[in-house]
Amino acid sequence: VKLDWWWPLQARLAREFGHDSRRETVALRMLQRMAHPSGELPRFTGRSVVVVGAGLRPDEVIPSGLLVAADGAVRACREQQRLPVLVVSDLDGYRDDLHWAINGGAALVVHGHGDNLVALGEWLPRLQPVAVTATRPAPGVACWGGFTDGDRAVLTALGFGARRVRLAGFRFDAVGPYSGSSRGRLKQQKLAWAQRILRATAQRYPALEF
């Protein structure tokens, strides 16, 4: 995955949100030490993918297609009995729904960062993700770009060759009903950034319908 365009955006994000580089380094080391990625990511090459976000409305039907769920959106998939093939999570969603997806055969990608160190310590050994990501790549740790679980899920699908990526449940004007523990003004700022990131992504990847 070519990420030359991503690094300037990530630097801006770090400044705007006050990311602590020391905590980011701790997260990276925890991923390297505690995670033992097993299995393979689903094959997306040449396939049509639907990425499900946490803004899905209760009356909104998830479109047909190969599903990738962004963290809390797993609950929406579960309610509609649509098992995703991949879940992208930084572990602030609903744990019982994560287990439902994993037990059903979904692959899990866990993102580690400076604000989820406690969750990493508690859940990494239990969940056995197929891959782990951080704000920069390192041995055993990937980086496909992205800031929120939603745009990170999109970049993952695109980076692994999806022919077409559609979005369901992506709202940028309000915090979605499946957003888990993320609430308030900070979440609104993150949503605004997710929208910018997806716009920038769509300019580079024609496969993304945005």
Query: If DSSP states are collapsed to H, E and C, what string results for the chain?
Result: CCCCCHHHHHHHHHHHHCCCHHHHHHHHHHHHHHCCCCCCCCCCECCEEEEECCCCCCCCCCCCCEEEEECCHHHHHHHCCCCCCEEEECCCCCHHHHHHHHHCCCEEEEECCCCCHHHHHHHHHHHCCCEEECCCCECCEECCCCCCHHHHHHHHHHHCCECEEEEECCCCCCCCCCCCCCCHHHHHHHHHHHHHHHHHHHHHCCCECC
**What is the reported pLDDT for 39?**
72
**What is the reported pLDDT for 86?**
96
Tell me if 137 is assigned to some domain: yes
Tell me if 40 is assigned to some domain: yes
Instruction: Render pLDDT for 9-21 as a digit per residue (tens, 0 to 9).
Output: 999 999 999 999 9
Question: For residue 1, what are the contacts with CB-CB under 8 A and spacing of at least 6?
Answer: 144, 145, 155, 159
Tell me if 151 is assigned to some domain: yes
Distance CA 151, CA 113 (A): 16
Tell me if 55 is assigned to some domain: yes
Tell me if 101 is assigned to some domain: yes
Tell me if 176 is assigned to some domain: yes
Tell me if 1 is assigned to some domain: no
Cα 60 to Cα 57, 80, 124, 153, 199: the distances in Å are 5, 10, 32, 20, 23
**What is the reported pLDDT for 183?**
60
Residues of the chain with pLDDT under 50: none
Distance CA 203, CA 189 (A): 22
Which residue range forms the structural domain that includes residue 61? 6-204
CA atoms within 13 A on the CB side of 154: 28
Tell me if 13 is assigned to some domain: yes
Indicate the number of domains in the chain. 1
Distance CA 106, CA 98 (A): 9
**What is the reported pLDDT for 34?**
87
